[in-house]
Amino acid sequence: MTEQGMIGIENLRVAFGQGADSVVAVDGVSLSVRDGESFGLVGESGSGKSTVLRAVSGLNHDWSGRVAVAGVEQSRRRAKGFFKTCQMVFQDPYGSLHPRHPVDRILAEPIAIHGLGDTDGRIDRVLLEVGLGPSFRFRYPHQLSGGQRQRVAIARALVLEPRLLLLDEPTSALDVSVQAEILNLLRRLRAERGLTLVLVSHNLAVVANLCDRLAVMNRGRIVEEMTVEDLRRGEAAQPYTRQLLRASQGYDRAAAESFRDFA
């Protein structure tokens, strides 16, 4: 990893299960993400992209290889201070928020865990930053729309002022119009805070909207890295990536019948 790198991964391997029942979810992945970059990981369901994110975030402890974040090589279990650098936003905003806790408590908890001061000020500022405002502090998740819940989830990630935000399909559970609002919010937050973003998605349009570069995964391996400009022009080097691009353009019977399984 270069001095300017935010993430450096070398030969990452993640397997689930033991012995003959073991399933290799990530198989020798190596990649780097520059400081301040927005990087996409794309691939069909089961390709291993979310598993890479969970290894980087410290949620998955069972992996081998090398993972460095902000120039610091990481062990399988992270020190508490790591989470002030790196935070994650999940796919389902309702499932990731405690249903019996108001927004105020959801945001106050990480502040208390890390011993930070000015709780009220931090909560008010971060709610304004994500487009909600202090009036939302004492609402419960069930009183919010899907887009509002995802804004709360983003606020919870930002309240510790991290440098790196990991995004696991952050818009896939939302309506198309709300997806656009969340993507615009993330783009603005990246610019204002100088954030590094890593976005996992199966939606190439979302990746093209938010990212600078991307890696394409299939069966636990990276098959190709490309710029978003290459993606928009449809200039993919690998057959699997070209097939993924065709699939993203909508259903076409002739194209679908020509699709093949890439082992």
Report the distance separating Cα 164 and Cα 144, nearest Å: 26
> Range of 218's domain?
1-75+201-263
In this prediction, residues 28-50 reach a mean pLDDT of 94
Q: What is the pLDDT of residue 190?
A: 96
Contact 240, 66 (CB under 8 A): no
- Distance, CA of 146 to CA of 156 (rounded, Å): 15
What whole-number distance in Å separates Cα of residue 141 and Cα of residue 1?
40
Assigned domain for 41 exists: yes
* pTM of this structure: 0.91
Contacts of 12 (CB under 8 A, 6+ apart): 26, 28, 29, 30, 52, 55, 63, 64, 65, 66, 67
Cα distance between residue 152 and residue 123, in whole Å: 10
With respect to residue 207, please indicate whether it lies within any of the assigned structural domains: yes
* Tokens standing for residue 94: 């309702």
150 inside domain = no
**Residue 222 and residue 176: Cα distance in Å, rounded?**
28
Specify if 182 maps to a domain. Answer: no
Two tokens, residue 8: 């450096």
Q: What is the DSSP string of 178-208?
A: HHHHHHHHHHHHHHHHT-EEEEEES-HHHHH
CA distance 39 to 25: 20
Whether the CB-CB separation of 106 and 132 falls below 8 Å is answered with no
SS (H, E, C) 65-91: EEEEECCEECCCCCCHHHHHCEEEECC
Sheet bearing 72-73, strands edge to edge: 23-34, 5-16, 64-69, 72-73
Q: What is the pLDDT of residue 1?
A: 40
Per-residue pLDDT, 259: 53
- 36 belongs to a structural domain: yes
pLDDT in tens, 161-186: 999 999 999 988 888 889 999 999 99
* CA–CA distances in Å: residue 164 to residues 44, 49, 60: 24, 17, 17
Per-residue confidence (pLDDT) for residue 175, from 0 to 100: 87
**Residue 253: is its pLDDT beyond 70?**
no
For residue range 181-208, what is the model confidence (pLDDT) as tens digits? 999 999 999 999 999 999 999 888 899 9
CATH number, domain containing residue 62: 3.40.50.300
Number of domains in the chain: 1
CA nearest neighbour of 199 among 148, 156, 191, 208: 208
Q: Is there a domain that residue 192 lies in?
A: no
- In a domain, residue 154? The reply is no
pLDDT at site 82: 95
223: left (phi over 0), alpha (psi -120 to 50) or beta: alpha
Residue-wise pLDDT tens digits, 212-244: 999 999 999 999 999 999 988 888 888 888 888
232 occurs within a structural domain? yes
Cβ proximity of 141 and 97 under 8 Å:
yes
Q: How confident is the model at residue 75 (pLDDT cuts 50, 70, 90)?
A: very high
| Strand 38-42 relative to strand 23-34, pairing | unpaired
